[in-house]
Amino acid sequence: MRTYAGHTNPRAANELFRTNLAKGQTGLSVAFDLPTQTGYDADHPMAAGEVGKVGVPICHLGDMEALFAQIPLAKMNTSMTINATAAWLLALYVAVAEGQGANPRELRGTTQNDILKEFLARGTYIFPPEPSLRLTADTIEYTVEHIPKWNPVNICSYHLQEAGATPVQELAFTLANAFAVLDRVQARPGVSLPNVVGQISFFVNAGIRFIEEMCKMKAFVRLWDRYTRERYGIEDPIKRRFRYGVQVNSLGLTAQQPENNVQRIVLEMLAVTLSKEARARSVQLPAWNEALGLPRPWDQQWSLRIQQVLAYETDLLEYDGDLFGGSTIIEAKVKELIDAAEAELKRIQQIGDACEAIEVMKRALVASHAERQRRIESGDLTMVGVNQFTEHDPSPLVTGEAESILVVDPEGERRQLERLRAFRAARNNAEVGAVLHALVDAATSGANIMPASIRAAQVGVTTGEWAGALRKVFGEYRAPTGLQGMTFASDAGALAAVRTRAAAVSRQIGHPIRLLVAKPGLDGHSNGAEQVAVRAKEAGLEVIYEGIRLTPEEIAASAADEDVDAIGISIHSGSHLTLVPRVAALLRQRGLSDVPLFVGGIVPDTDRDALKRCGVTRVYTPGQATLTQIVGDIVNEVAERQRRPTGTA
């Protein structure tokens, strides 16, 4: 039983960990901040506004020691949601454990380390696909020999569903990603593939259609067993087990009537616990208010108690057999999913493997998500409190005097920078330089990166220095946006009216309305930006969207170069009060103050006025407006600006 946690700084996160363990949590699931996930130190310009927002910042060994202070790692099972920098965070974990006197061979836990889904759905990649997979294979090879109880890779379908994957796509794309990893490990001489397969785990999603989701998990179990036997020759049925943990769906959590999220979470948990054949080994639940902002400790406690009631009060775990054994309805659904997933998998394999099919899979996810949004807007897909049963009494959970979300200490970033500078000043820089040289040599020569990384952790190399050394060798990468080659919807309903209005405004200004959709900072959750871009294209706008991880300077330059009529910024990481005012200021410097600036994302109500004062036209939070309404607002604002005298806002 876990809750996904970590924020502000290592000491605050450590206090939260120890509190949760005292409440009965049986393992740790660490959330790292975006600079840590993308290989930047807290004082790098790209890290501005992002430090400690969505997770805990880890810049060096001292931070990792503070994170796990008074927590004996030899007795702990720790899951780390980390991908591009997984080898580095594992190296830091090993260094801390050894400092505590633990034997690395006894360490238990998981590094997610599934880089392919980062290119598809989550966005915290750094290096191109092949070097990234090489680092994944390095950690697998090292842990199987030196940390044999560790799960070195956690193939993750969770974020695929969050990005719009259907159950069939989730099955096929996840298996394709797993095969890409195993194929590269299998090519390494001396690696025991049965031991590798025995240590691979999965991290899945479970949505509200919990019967179908349970059948999906049965399909996963059976497909993995068959493919590991037939494709990889694994004879031991224990090593072929589909071992998985789960966090239930966050995509379906709503900001409207957020109290409804509690029953959604409970029902979704049934999908991964009802069937003994396909039961999760570990469960972590989101909090009811995650669509509003960062959960408080009390909210996480509520999610933990949900798990404890199911495990200790109900009789669900008392039965030896599968509750659905012999059900023809369940078996028919499982077969349907397996057949469709295998057909989808064959289409990927005709391209090559998942590494070569990134663009095709990304485009499919964007299309599936767009279809889901259309069904919600049309009412074909019911969401209680969103498009049906919207009349309600105010919820005391969000209207009381207390804040309904956790607000990160605004001074946390400054203090983290001070600690980082003090750490650098106290270390042996000559030793650091020598170790970084050895790290580059290992990356260049093809040697396993883990020994050099562990040594780097021990002498005080920082996260940014480790990633910077590898950037010099491997380079960096920009993943496809998924918009290229998409087929867009035809006119229908409200969209037809917006399209007609957009065409009229375009005639007035002498060109199609040009909309720049941008994601500043390190936030890689691009679903919202992609869907706004899709709907804007469907409405006849010309859309400029260059993907994630842009600096404010790049956004302002693009707005000027493309002569845009409107700008939409998507931001979900909590860095809006730092990055949006910077974008607005740079636009003014370039004489673009007349260009309307829209902001969408998880923005607390208390921050809206600050954004408006810096020049934002309108702020959208999850569920506040449909995509068609947002695009309609953009079109109307462009028309309104055309009627105003030049220079007025």
**pLDDT value of position 118:** 97
CB-CB contact of 440 with 469 (8 Å):
yes
Closest CA to 587 of 618, 563, 621: 563
**pLDDT value of position 645:** 63
- Count of other CB atoms within 10 angstroms of residue 335: 14
- State mean pLDDT over 532-560: 96
**pLDDT value of position 644:** 72
* C-alpha distance from residue 476 to each of 126, 457, 480, 526 (Å): 6, 23, 13, 19
- Count of other CB atoms within 10 angstroms of residue 68: 24
CA distance 633 to 303: 37
- On average, the pLDDT of the chain sits at 93
- State mean pLDDT over 3-9: 73
Question: Which tokens hold the place of 314?
Answer: 């109900």
**pLDDT value of position 428:** 97
- State mean pLDDT over 102-120: 96
**pTM of the complete model:** 0.92
pLDDT tens digit sequence for 479-503: 999 987 666 665 567 899 999 999 9
- Decide if pLDDT at 207 tops 60: yes
Helix pair angle (627-643, 358-378), 10° resolution: 90
- Decide if pLDDT at 621 tops 70: yes
- State mean pLDDT over 88-94: 98
**pLDDT value of position 412:** 86
CB-CB contact of 239 with 194 (8 Å):
yes
pLDDT tens digit sequence for 251-269: 889 888 999 999 999 999 9
**pLDDT value of position 401:** 43
- Decide if pLDDT at 525 tops 70: yes
Q: pLDDT band at 580, cuts 50/70/90?
A: very high
633, 634, 638, 644: CA torsion to nearest 10 = 50
pLDDT tens digit sequence for 80-89: 999 999 999 9
Q: pLDDT band at 25, cuts 50/70/90?
A: confident
Q: Which domains does the chain have, with CATH numbers?
A: 108-399 (3.20.20.240), 493-643 (3.40.50.280)
Centroid of chain to Cα 460: 28
* C-alpha distance from residue 236 to each of 187, 191, 193, 241, 504 (Å): 21, 17, 12, 9, 67
CB-CB contact of 126 with 467 (8 Å):
yes
* C-alpha distance from residue 495 to each of 8, 233, 383, 396, 403 (Å): 42, 52, 20, 36, 37
Q: Which of the two residues, 25 and 45, has the higher pLDDT score?
A: 45
Q: pLDDT band at 202, cuts 50/70/90?
A: very high
**pLDDT value of position 648:** 56
Q: Which of the two residues, 318 and 401, has the higher pLDDT score?
A: 318
Closest CA to 6 of 67, 61, 60: 67
- Flag the least confident range among 34-48, 381-395, 483-497, 589-603: 483-497
**pLDDT value of position 27:** 87
Letter for the amino acid at 648? Answer: T
- Decide if pLDDT at 145 tops 70: yes
**pLDDT value of position 426:** 97
* C-alpha distance from residue 593 to each of 142, 267, 587, 615 (Å): 54, 48, 6, 8
**pLDDT value of position 492:** 63
**pLDDT value of position 487:** 65
Q: Hey, which residues are catalytic here?
A: 4, 158-159, 519, 523, 525
- Decide if pLDDT at 206 tops 50: yes
CA distance 614 to 552: 14
Give strand ranges (E) for 108-234: 108-111, 150-151, 154-156, 201-204
pLDDT tens digit sequence for 42-79: 999 999 999 998 899 999 999 999 999 999 999 999 99
- Flag the least confident range among 110-124, 175-189, 407-421, 635-649: 635-649
